[in-house]
Amino acid sequence: MIKGIQIGDKYCKYPIIQGGMGVGVSLHRLAGAVSAEGGIGVLSAADIGYQEPDFETNPKEANLRAIRTEIEKAREIAGKDKIIAANIMVAMTDYAELVKEFVKQGIDLIISGAGIPLNLPEYIIGSKTKIAPIVSSLRCCQLIVKTWRKKYNYIPDMIVIEGPKAGGHLGFKRDELFAEDDRKPQLEEITSEVVSYVRDLEKETGKEIPVIAAGGVWDGKDIKKFMELGADGVQMATRFVATHECDASEAFKKAYVKATSSDIQIIDSPVGMPGRAIRNEFIRQKEAGNSRITKCYQCIKTCNVKDAPYCITRALINAVKGNLDEGLIFCGSNVDKVKEIVSVHELMQELTMELA
Position 182 confidence tier, pLDDT thresholds 50, 70, 90: low
Q: What is the pLDDT of residue 181?
A: 66
- Residue 161, pLDDT > 70, answer yes
d(CA 269, CA 169): 8
Cα 17 from Cα 20, distance rounded (Å): 9
Instruction: Kindly state the helix (H) or strand (E) to which residue 31 belongs, with its residue range.
Output: helix 28-36
With 90 as the cut, is the pLDDT of residue 252 above it?
yes
Report the C-alpha gap between 111 and 87 in whole angstroms.
5
pLDDT tens-digit map of 274-292: 889 999 999 998 888 766 6
- Helical pair 138-152 and 187-205, crossing angle rounded to 10 deg: 30
| Whether the bond into 23 is cis, omega within 30 of 0 | yes
Q: Are 275 and 168 in contact (CB under 8 A)?
A: yes
Output the CA torsion sign for 56, 61, 64, 68.
Answer: negative
Residue 291, pLDDT score = 67
The pLDDT of residue 91 is: 87
Rounded distance between C-alpha atoms, residue 232 and residue 215, angstroms: 15
Q: In angstroms, what CA-CA distances link 177 with 165, 256, 311? A: 9, 22, 24
- The string of pLDDT tens digits covering residues 299-339 is 767 766 677 778 888 899 999 999 999 999 999 999 999 99
Is the per-residue pLDDT at 169 higher than 80? no
- Alpha-carbon 316 to chain mean position: 15
- Residue 51: pLDDT above 90? yes
**% of the chain exceeding 90 in pLDDT:** 78
Residue 219: exposed, middle, or buried by beta-carbon count in 10 A (0-12, 13-18, 19+)? middle
For residue 167, what are the contacts with CB-CB under 8 A and spacing of at least 6?
A: 19, 21, 237, 238, 276, 330, 331, 332, 333, 335
- 196-216 pLDDT per residue, tens: 999 999 999 999 999 999 999
Give the pLDDT score at 295.
72
Distances (CA, A) of 271 to 9, 24, 117, 150, 310: 37, 18, 17, 30, 10
Please write down the HEC assignment for all residues of 217-237. Answer: CCCHHHHHHHHHCCCCEEEEC
DSSP-assigned beta bridge partners for residue 86: 43, 110
Average pLDDT of the segment spanning 53-78: 96
What is the Cα–Cα distance from 104 to 178, expressed in whole angstroms?
Answer: 42
What is the model's pLDDT at position 167? 85
Q: Please state, for a pLDDT cut of 70, what percent of the chain lies above it.
A: 94
pTM equals 0.94
Cα 270 off chain centre by: 19
What is the pLDDT at residue 356? 84
Sheet of 168-169, strands arranged across: 168-169, 274-278, 264-268
At 17-45, the pLDDT tens digits run: 999 998 999 999 999 999 999 999 999 99
Q: How far apart, in whole angstroms, are the C-alpha atoms of residue 42 and residue 35? A: 9
Query: What is the Cβ-side half-sphere exposure of residue 260, based on CA atoms within 13 angstroms?
Result: 1
Q: Is 121 helix (H, G, I), strand (E, B) or coil?
A: helix
